[in-house]
Structure 1
Amino acid sequence: MTVKTDSSKVLISGATGWLGTESVARVLEGKFEGISEQNLLLCSSDGRNLKLDSSNILPTVKLQSLSGDNGIKDLNGFVHLAFLTKDKSAEYSFSDYVSKNIALISSACEIIERDKPKWVVVVSSGAIMDRNSLEVEHNVVRNPYGFCKRIEEVLLLDSARKIGANIVIGRLWGGTGLHMPIKRAYAISDFIETFKESGSIRITSGGDVLRRYCDVGDFMEVLIKSAIRGDNKTVDSGGPIIELGDLAELLISVTGTGSISRSSEPSAIDDYYPRGMEFEALAHSVGVPLHGISEQVLRTLTSHKVKTVR
């Protein structure tokens, strides 16, 4: 597909992470009017290349190199993804983890207020909500990742408003995808890796565990198209509701092998997932067809190098 582009730039921070990779892949597929590889500016923490496959290797610059007077001329859009994820909190002290994320938020605010993009996309997380009350997290000690995401939402929204840019904030609750890294910190990745190692799936909860999963490529395409359109909104990711036992059965069915066992101990329903359908409506309005759960599983198995029978 040939896409009409212009000379203005689109910056993606955290470009070598999972969400950045999915975003760039959609750009290379020609999904966005006015955005191509030629006007992308990609940032990473260490300046390493983004490798989509053997034929698509894209350079990045260090995010720190864009500080101070190193402005970006003709910045049209800014997709901010740079953040230390929840699993990284185990690698740092509490104060270092919080301060490093605050520094990334500060860099994003500086870029917005200095370079004045027309639109901004920020990816937040369902972890911004307290797991028990489903209210916005207010305790940084209990949930440093979620609270830092709350700070990020508030400050980047303020920066965007200050310069008159529109901003779309997407809260990702559960993700799948063609470029999903093999990472045990992601629940579905851990699920697949355990299955690869043992050929079986053990569900430790005796009660229903309900989740909603969204293809991350779809998620990023919807957010970016919404921002380009001029929307100002905060939206939770969506996806079909699925119980983990049903997800396990789907995994077994598409691989053609394996077994499932489950605890017989009764336990309460675990239904930590977003309740609304706004994301589905937004996807429809910007013309993005969403992958169903079967397609999501197949795409994620591909990223984890698992053979399927479909």
Structure 2
Amino acid sequence: MLEPAIAAALAADDQHIAVAGAGGWIGLATLDLLEQALGDRIADRVSCYGSATRTLTLRSGRELQQAPLGALKMLDARRIWLLHFAFQTKDRAEAMSEQAYRAVNDAISATVLEAATTLPVEAMFVASSGAATKANDPLASPAMRLYGQMKLDDEDRFADWARVHGRRTVIGRIFNITGPYINKHQAYAIANFIMDALADRPIAVRAPREVYRAYVAIRELMSLIFALMAGRSTPVARFDSGGEAMELGGVAQVVARTLDGGSVERAPITDPVPDRYIGDDTVYAALRRSHGIKAVTLDRQIIETADYMRGLAA
């Protein structure tokens, strides 16, 4: 659940929370957290938008209706907080032409920007990505550079919106997160490790170089986001998701120990160039502490993520 004080503040307030990109991992996890904070009032206080009309089912069994993103501009509410998770991610950049990928994300951003400009949106969260740091990295793949550049463009677009219109934008570069609704289990290292541990298989770390990641729980991250959205000190607040940087061999050892899994098989390091995909934890930790948000330990993150993945398997 959200940090109790932040959940209580949300429950006591009356702003409407619009979630764009509600059907993705972060969107669904956020809806789950909002349900815990708001209870049955979620039906009146929260609206969902995405690529198409569909029913979203939360872990509790509650069903929420998602409307097409274009319907966002017709939202009738007096005060609005807008969470912008809608974006085609790197895997889509790998599968589409650059022209098509740019066109679809530009259309998404234009739709959200139009709604944010015309509606009484007080505060907005823009889910950027750690990929923004790879936009000009010659060692990154073309898809990663393209995805990162378009995330940078979104950061600038919505920062300008806040300054021009006297609103509030919180921009978070999200690197590595854990928790319920995690998807792409084969693609995300920690999910892959958890799958191996739950199946009582050796955890295989195959990367031929040192790979460093730092993880935060989605409930910790969203607690900070809601706290920052309530702030009024500056029109734009930016931060990276943080966490303790660890090499994947060490992460695998923590997964195995926490879940009583088997051994860890770490491939030899033959490539001298490390892979580091981590945010600025110094700033993140200071922000977290200033808002009274407790850090979720890595072993607790693993337990919560594994509980969700067990439920999927069942």
> Partner residue of 1:287?
292
For residue 113 of structure 1, report the CA deviation from its aligned partner.
0.9
Write the letter of the residue equivalent to 1:237. S
Residues 1:80 and 2:80 aligned together? no
Unmatched runs of 5 consecutive residues or more in structure 2 = 1-6
Count of residue pairs brought into register by the alignment: 300
Does structure 2 conserve the Cα–Cα contact (< 8 Å) formed by 1:181 and 1:303? no
41-50 vs 23-32, greater mean Cα deviation: 23-32
Unmatched runs of 5 consecutive residues or more in structure 1 = none
Residues 158 and 72 from structure 1, CA distance in 2 versus in 1: closer, same or farther, beyond 3 angstroms?
farther
Does structure 2 conserve the Cα–Cα contact (< 8 Å) formed by 1:23 and 1:221? no
> Partner residue of 1:253?
257
- Residues 120-141 of structure 1: CA deviation (Å, up to 9, x unaligned): 111100000128859xx9x977
Does structure 1 conserve the Cα–Cα contact (< 8 Å) formed by 2:198 and 2:259? no
**Corresponding residue to 2:122 among 118, 121, 136:** 118
**Corresponding residue to 1:174 among 173, 176, 186:** 176
* Aligned partner of residue 15 in structure 1, secondary structure: coil
Residues 1:21 and 2:28 aligned together? yes
Residues 239 and 175 from structure 1, CA distance in 2 versus in 1: closer, same or farther, beyond 3 angstroms?
same
Residues 133 and 90 from structure 1, CA distance in 2 versus in 1: closer, same or farther, beyond 3 angstroms?
closer
Separation in 1, partners of 2:94, 2:198: 25
Separation in 2, partners of 1:78, 1:182: 26
**Alignment TM-score, normalising by the size of structure 1:** 0.86
Identity, in percent, stands at 25
For residue 171 of structure 1, report the CA deviation from its aligned partner.
0.4
- Residues 206-259 of structure 1: CA deviation (Å, up to 9, x unaligned): 553221111122112211221112253110001122221111111111232322
- Residues 36-76 of structure 1: CA deviation (Å, up to 9, x unaligned): 44211111211212211243211121112235xx3544242
> Partner residue of 1:225?
227
Write the letter of the residue equivalent to 1:282. L
> Partner residue of 2:4?
none
Q: How does 1:103-252 map to 2 (within 5 A)?
A: 103-130=107-134, 143-193=145-195, 199-205=201-207, 207-231=209-233, 232-252=236-256
Does structure 2 conserve the Cα–Cα contact (< 8 Å) formed by 1:76 and 1:117? yes
Separation in 1, partners of 2:183, 2:13: 30
Separation in 1, partners of 2:84, 2:311: 31
Does structure 2 conserve the Cα–Cα contact (< 8 Å) formed by 1:116 and 1:163? no
For residue 11 of structure 1, report the CA deviation from its aligned partner.
0.9
From the two aligned structures, give the one with the greater helix fraction.
Answer: 2
Residues 295 and 47 from structure 1, CA distance in 2 versus in 1: closer, same or farther, beyond 3 angstroms?
same
Separation in 2, partners of 1:4, 1:294: 32
Write the letter of the residue equivalent to 2:92. K
Residues 197 and 90 from structure 1, CA distance in 2 versus in 1: closer, same or farther, beyond 3 angstroms?
farther
Which 4+ runs in 1 deviate beyond 6 A?
139-142
* Aligned partner of residue 257 in structure 1, secondary structure: coil
> Partner residue of 2:307?
302
Does structure 1 conserve the Cα–Cα contact (< 8 Å) formed by 2:197 and 2:261? no
**Alignment TM-score, normalising by the size of structure 2:** 0.85
* Aligned partner of residue 247 in structure 1, secondary structure: helix
Residues 306 and 40 from structure 1, CA distance in 2 versus in 1: closer, same or farther, beyond 3 angstroms?
closer
> Partner residue of 1:91?
95
Residues 99 and 64 from structure 1, CA distance in 2 versus in 1: closer, same or farther, beyond 3 angstroms?
same
- Residues 166-219 of structure 1: CA deviation (Å, up to 9, x unaligned): 111000011111221243233322333455568122223455322111112211
